[in-house]
Structure 1
Amino acid sequence: MSQLVSGETGVFAIIVTYHATPAHLLRLTSSLAGQVDTIIVVDNGSANLAALRLLVEHDPRIVLIALARNRGIAFAQNAGIEHARKAGARYLIYFDQDSVITDEFVKPLQAAFVSLSATHKVALVAPIFKDEKNGFFYPLICLNRYGTRRKIIPVGDETAPIPVSIAISSGTFTSMAVMDQVGGMRNELFIDYVDIEWCLRAVNAGYALFAIPAVCMLHSIGDSSIPFLKWRLVIHSEWRRYYRIRNGFWLLRMPHVPMLLAMREVLINIVHQGVLLLTQKNRKLQLKHFLRGVRDGLRGIGAA
């Protein structure tokens, strides 16, 4: 393992890109400048790779790993983790290509992780999320061993870390030691439930997860959504819906995933798909990918 020099923190950021908007990526890498030692950008076979390469090639802090094709977020994160491991990273922080952070984002997460690790077996710490358009905080989720959910809605003035059971990957901070113990992401999941499965695997191994209210990340559901009762349902492509449906069924096969949680995800995915079939123009493609997802999910096709 390489030795850190004075001033280095041992923190490596991993950003997975797929047809990223160069301006969004530049915004993120600029915000990370000075907050981490190295930024690893793993591109998943983007058509605009040349533009992304021009964006990062003159910055010695950025390493670009260009995959020949889209291998999924799990594979890309694992590629970034392996590069960071070989480079001597102590800590990791993950981001999406369009994440928006402040210039004082990483340090408080690192401080919280180190502090909590003195008294707990910590898998990760995560920011809280605030809706960029409407200003509300997204709920934090705690699960009991059966999978019953308890929501915690931040109000914005909390100071103490909040125990949680799952966290989305963007903005989460962990250590290489934890990754070595819990293991990497499951490549076969490709995209959906990658972060949730990892969190539940860590919890099953006796680790704790915490949300840090002092660190907030803006998030927006975007315009590609439709209202349904009191919720808004995100509209994804047909192939993305395939993975959502298939992986939901796969959760039922994983012993570390609480049964009620897995069953809830399967039911919600089916209802969500039903709404899309009733409202979207590409009904045939939606139905085709839905049925394929159900088939592969029930048969465990592609599962490890």
Structure 2
Amino acid sequence: MKLLMLGGTEFVGRAVTEAALARGWQVTVFHRGRHAPVPGTAVVHGDRTDAATLTALADGTWDVVVDTWAGAPTAVRDAARLLADRAGRYVYVSTGSVYRHPAGPGHTEAGPLVDGSPDAEAVAYAEDKRGGELAALAAFGEDRTVLARAGMILGPWENIGRLPWWLTRIARGGPVLAPGPRDLGLQYIDVRDLAAWVLHAAETGLSGPYNLISEPGHATMGELLEACVAVTGSDAELRWSGPEEILAAGLAPWTELPVWLPPGELYDAIHRGNPAKALGAGLRCRPVAETVADTWAWLQELDGPPPLRPGQPVGLAPEKEEAFLRGEIPRG
């Protein structure tokens, strides 16, 4: 198989690239040159938002194109149009955020979607991703397009900072604010399981939208954080606190306390989707302990902190955590 990876040097794109190389595929990565490509790939440099450099892809044929773009849908539109006659299939890594809020527990691929346009400039994450879906469909058609609607993605090379923050914080040791309840179910996908399924979809000729996530409750908040304690070998003491007191103290779910959401509409949208279609089409999800251990091993290989994409910082400030644990922040 011949793969054209649009990007291919960070997180999801890198995982797809490495998985394809491991299968013996021929991989071409098209990127701006800001990060080193995976060894063994053919490299084409260019900026997909610049029509002049996008023409670097004017020649060549591929079995599949994989695209993780999260900005203006016009970038997906222009790339897909350019490649439609020279690639067999287009896999667009989208997001569960394209479902209209509130998605509700058990939402499937048939759920109502946010508005989007393939001709839009950057608007907001969900609308941009939906516009990217529509752009891919317009160029490749429904029979040759896979919409991989990923949930929360964890694993090595993460450039968002959710699991790396928890691992780094727990490695520091001492009392750790653990947002509960401990048995709160989590739904996510390991980036390598995502990559393996994307390549499987290309090999077997799948098409259409898929909720690319584990089953609800694949892990719990307790299992995730206790795995972090185990792999780091720290003396961290998890101090479990309930949603009511955390919210009353003004601590922000998801951003200050990564991964965690209190039960409610947003929790249902992120952690209670229906992955039956993807599971029936070959998706396999590894245990949380493996994801945590491999992410920690990757962090140990880095010379400094993990690379993070620009955006809102992730994680709770140490002084704020200490104040909460000492009872200095009102809890309602």
Same fold (TM over 0.5): no
More strand by share: 1
TM-score by length of 1: 0.29
Which is greater in Rg? 2
TM-score by length of 2: 0.27
